[in-house]
Amino acid sequence: MKGKKERLLGVPFDYEATDATDQSPPTALEKGLMRLILKALGDPQIKVILWDGEALDPVDAPAMVLRERAALWRLLYYPTLHFGDDYSAGRIDIEGGLEQFLSRFYTAYRRMPKFMEALQQGLTRYRHIRGNPQHRARDNIYHHYDIGNDFYRLWLDEEMVYTCAYYAPGITTLEAAQQAKMEHVCRKLRLKPGETVVDAGCGWGALARYMAKHYDVHVRAFNVSREQVAYARDKARAEGLEGRVEFIEDDYRNISGQYDAFVSIGMLEHVGSKHYRELGGIIDRSLKKNGRGLIHTIGQNRPLPTSTWTQRRIFPGGYPPTLGEMSAIFSPYDFSILDVENLRPHYAQTLRHWLARFDQQQDEVSRMYDERFVRTWRLYLTGSIANFSSGYLQLFQVLFTRPSNNQLPTTRDDIYDGDY
Amino acid sequence: MKGKKERLLGVPFDYEATDATDQSPPTALEKGLMRLILKALGDPQIKVILWDGEALDPVDAPAMVLRERAALWRLLYYPTLHFGDDYSAGRIDIEGGLEQFLSRFYTAYRRMPKFMEALQQGLTRYRHIRGNPQHRARDNIYHHYDIGNDFYRLWLDEEMVYTCAYYAPGITTLEAAQQAKMEHVCRKLRLKPGETVVDAGCGWGALARYMAKHYDVHVRAFNVSREQVAYARDKARAEGLEGRVEFIEDDYRNISGQYDAFVSIGMLEHVGSKHYRELGGIIDRSLKKNGRGLIHTIGQNRPLPTSTWTQRRIFPGGYPPTLGEMSAIFSPYDFSILDVENLRPHYAQTLRHWLARFDQQQDEVSRMYDERFVRTWRLYLTGSIANFSSGYLQLFQVLFTRPSNNQLPTTRDDIYDGDY
């Protein structure tokens, strides 16, 4: 510890000033606090190993290794930020399987008793009073869209689809599952040749090109990322689709014109729930009388905040909505929800494929980025697997139309007619 | 009119005291007001014929015939109650197709400009000040569950299913569509032999018997109606299902035990949105770890109040929720919504079948009930067709489970595998 004035009854109040070289054995207080937390979480069958090698809950379970005293105090002080940051920095390690550890932790965390929630709120207030450490740690922010195409090319499928795939029966590869996802979306939208589609947040443009190629529709696709739009245009040109797919480097709020279909895959997570009504208005003015819309988004069962680490390091402003929150998009404009499908297990599988490729490409990634980056991304991908497989996160595809549209098939049989 | 003191500038303030024998020609004020309302509704292509035979909007369209002066003033004073009541009493008639008239009216009504809504609110306040006429008109309340089995037997299918059917591809009859609905529900719930099911609000017990017979599960079915439960027990006994289906004459709030599946078809409409959280709690305590649930309910896109007439005469306390409102059932208990299907067109078709049978049985119905009853039911069934075909009402089937359930098929292909 830095100095005596920063401690009271053994608690270092200025935890950020703790000395990394201090390797004196854990105190009874430190061990007691960790045990208390595990107990309060309902003994989630995870082990904690302290910097002197002592295992706190000696069960045969995945273990969190705290490499130094400061990691423990940081974790106590701001768990939703520092677990991730200290893992990235190598001050925390996981033994016995990162996914298994996180799955058990998330399951326990979701069942957290009320008094732990109150404690967390108290901590938030305390941190607020002491001043937020985020401003001192901007060096390890790896926001998704600050990273170039070259990184994603290493571990995404060949079409660069960075959203949940669809493992239709018999499909086992990522490539085929991403194609099946695009086909699934097209079938749900009941696209007909010659129709027009607007794609809000089109990523690298795979869906827009798929629709034009396989459904003979005209697509206008919006994306704010210059690099992604450039890539999408190149691909469309190479495939001779220029006349049928138009990539526009602009915000979805500037969508103009009227279309037979509105589609948005993996954008809503970044919209922010206070903009849902505005988004609904944009859809309302963009859809023709019998137009259909599909929103594909990560979601959740309860409106819980995203972890601080994910917010700060991965997805600034990201939030996975509940279906109830999503109704702010549809309800004010009298849209009828026709079909909601929860593809949660498909996202766990998609992420497993991504992580396996990421690990295969580790040498390449390490040449491009430092160790902290590699650990950050491994934690993010593995944590996402655990989030989806434990049921913390959902993946909703929501199909909707105007209430007076009586032109659609009345059952979903046609969607399941024929292979993917 | 009763007397001069009740009128001001030609407006009869005590509209209930207007003299039915007063057949003096409509005044310029009366005609002007009706024209104004049609205009404010956006000229919905409906005609109004007054008691002297004059047609107000002489288009080739379905027409509302006001048989007497009092009907006009009642309509102005309390449209959501008196259109129905005066139609039932024969003071209002519809020419050129009741369904067509109502469809056009509902479509216009939903697009009603804001100032009309404000006017309606003003009227509500005025009625409140003058005292509500409901207490003077209890004689024509035909609540659903005050009517005996004999009436419904006349026009429901042979299994007495009084909820939306499912017209799977190739199915055209009501009987087959009701069987297909039950099959569809069982497939969605992925019932396995030997499992247990609780059925909340089981009606005449058709689904409970279907599940036991075709899926070899044990069903406990709850219903507060003594007459329906007696019928359901008789049927189960006749089919040799006593050991596998148990009908309990009790409220859904008294459900005890834990089950592999929870199902509720056509009950939520009567639960009332302030009880949704409580219902969720009942489901939570009733479902096993990997239990599944399905709620089948009339719903709507926007949270609009049910018409006064429907509330008073047909469904006291009835309310079709939005999906957003329904999340109060699921979200507090961390239930994952897996699948929402909107079967709106199927309810329009079901109701058409019911109305056709009702009309075929008119002689029989007329022997059992008076003319007012017959007109009330015809208006209710036809109005419901118009509500579903115009997209005012929806029919949601919502499938859900606990978040940690990883035992279910990951696609819906199995539901569409095989005929109904």
Q: What is the pLDDT of residues A367-400, one digit of tens each?
A: 999 999 999 999 999 999 999 999 999 999 999 9
Q: What are B336-384's pLDDT values in tens digits?
A: 999 999 999 999 999 999 999 999 999 999 999 999 999 999 999 999 9
Q: Please answer whether residues B97 and B62 qualify as being in contact, where contact means their C-beta atoms are separated by less than 8 angstroms.
A: yes
Q: Are residues A129 and A168 in the same domain?
A: no
Cβ–Cβ of A341/B337 closer than 8 Å?
Answer: no
Q: Are residues A118 and A182 in the same domain?
A: no
Domain boundary among B117, B140, B163: B140
Interface-testing mutation among B172, B331, B399, with chain A (most A C-beta atoms within 10 A): B331
Q: Tell me the pLDDT of chain A averaged across its residues.
A: 91
Q: Based on C-alpha coordinates, what's the Rg of chain B?
A: 24
Pair of tokens at residue A356: 């396996």
What pLDDT, on the 0 to 100 scale, is given for residue B184? 98
Q: In chain A, which residue's Cα lies nearest the Cα of B107? A: A404
pLDDT score of B4: 43
Assess whether B285 and B404 both reside in one domain: yes
Q: Tell me which residue of B294, B290, B299 sits closest to B207, measured CA to CA.
A: B294
The pLDDT value given to residue B119? 84
Main-chain dihedrals φ then ψ at residue B213, nearest 5 degrees? -70, -45
Helices B69-77 and B79-88, interaxial angle, to 10°?
A: 150
Judge if B222 and B319 occupy the same domain.
Answer: yes
Q: Output the pLDDT for position B60.
A: 87
DSSP A153-172: HHHS-TT---S-----TT--
Q: What six digits make up the tokens of A45?
A: 């069958």
Burial class (CB in 10 A: 0-12, 13-18, 19+), A419: exposed
For residue A131 the two structure tokens come to 């001043």
Q: In the numeric block, which tokens belong to residue B247? A: 């009908």
pLDDT band at residue A193 under the 50/70/90 scheme: very high
Residues B352 and B223 in one domain: yes
Contact between chains at B331 and A303 (C-beta distance less than 8 A): yes
Q: Which residues of B touch A283 (CB under 8 A)?
A: none
B47 closest CA partner among B31, B63, B65: B63
Tell me, yes or no, whether B216 and B83 share the same domain.
no
Are B301 and B390 contained in the same domain?
A: yes
For position A223, which CATH number holds?
3.40.50.150
Intra-chain end-to-end CA distance of chain B, in Å: 61
Which residues, in sequence order, are CB contacts of B80 under 8 Å at separation 6+? B307, B308, B309
Contact call for residues A269 and A276 (beta carbons, < 8 A): no
Final residue in a domain of this structure, among B111, B140, B169: B140
Q: What pLDDT is recorded for position B3?
A: 43
| Helix ranges, B174-275 (H) | 174-189, 206-215, 226-238
**Which residues of chain B have a pLDDT value below 50?**
1-5, 134-141
For residues B239 and B212, what is the distance between their CA atoms, to the nearest angstrom? 11
Judgement on whether residues A314 and A406 belong to the same structural domain of the protein: yes
Residue where one domain finishes, among candidates A140, A159, A187 = A140
Beta carbon pairs, A and B, within 8 Å: 127
Q: Which of A95-109, A248-262, B141-155 has the lowest mean pLDDT?
A: B141-155
Residue A146 and residue A140: Cα distance in Å, rounded? Answer: 12
Place of tokens 């279906």: A323
Number of domains in chain B: 2
Nearest CA in chain B to A391: B403
Find the residue in A nearest to B329 (Cα).
A324
Collapsing DSSP to helix, strand or coil, A315 comes out as coil
Contact A341 B344 (CB under 8 A): no
Mapped onto helix, strand or coil, the DSSP state of residue A254 is helix
- Structure confidence at residue B359 (pLDDT): 96
Token pair in block for residue B272: 């009332």
Quote the CA–CA distance of A144 and B40 in Å, as a whole number: 51
Smallest CA–CA distance from A325 into chain B, residue: B324
Collect all residues with Cβ–Cβ distance below 8 Å to A152 and sequence separation of at least 6.
Answer: A160, A162
In terms of residue numbers, what domain contains A51?
4-140
Ramachandran angles phi, psi of B92, nearest 5°: -125, 135
Same domain, B156 and B132: no
Six token digits for residue B201: 């609000």
Indicate yes or no: CB of B412 within 8 angstroms of CB of A411.
Answer: no
- Under a CB-based contact definition with an 8 Å cutoff, are residues B159 and B204 in contact? yes
Answer yes or no: do B259 and B363 share one domain: yes
Nearest to A82 by CA among A72, A67, A68: A72
CA distances from A283 to A260, A288, A329, B233, B345 (A): 11, 10, 9, 51, 24
Please give the pLDDT value at position A112: 81
Q: Is B128 exposed, middle or buried (0-12, 13-18, 19+ CB in 10 A)?
A: exposed
In whole angstroms, what is the distance from residue B146 CA to residue B238 CA?
A: 26
Using CA atoms, how far apart are residues B210 and A167, in angstroms rounded to an integer?
Answer: 32
pLDDT of A407 above 90: yes
Question: What average pLDDT does the segment A177-191 reach?
Answer: 98
Query: Mutation test of the interface with chain A: which of B109, B329, B342, choosing the one with the most A Cβ atoms within 10 A?
Result: B342
Same domain, A70 and A218: no
Question: Looking at residue B18, what is its pLDDT?
Answer: 59
In the prediction, which pLDDT does A117 show? 82
C-alpha triplet A104, A109, A110: angle, nearest 5° = 105
Backbone Cα Rg of chain A? 24
Which positions in chain B touch A388 (Cβ < 8 Å)?
none
Provide the pLDDT for residue A21.
66
- Unique residue bearing structure tokens 């697509």: A219
Contact between A204 and A235 (Cβ < 8 Å): yes
Span of A109-123, A163-177, A269-283, B298-312 with lowest mean pLDDT: A109-123
What would the mean pLDDT of A188-202 be, rounded to a whole number?
98
Question: Alpha-carbon torsion A375, A378, A381, A383, what sign?
Answer: negative
Res A93 pLDDT > 80: yes
Of residues B415, B325, B351, B312, the one with CA closest to residue B157: B351
**What is the distance between the alpha carbons of residues B417 and B420, in angstroms, rounded to a whole number?**
9
* Contact: A107, B404; criterion CB under 8 Å: yes
Is B338 in contact with A338 (Cβ distance < 8 A)? no
Decide: A292 and A189 in contact? Cβ < 8 Å: yes
Q: Do B391 and A402 touch (CB under 8 A)?
A: yes
Domain match, B88 and B128 both: yes
* Residue in chain B lying closest to A386 (CA): B404
- Decide if A402 contacts A118 (C-beta within 8 A): no
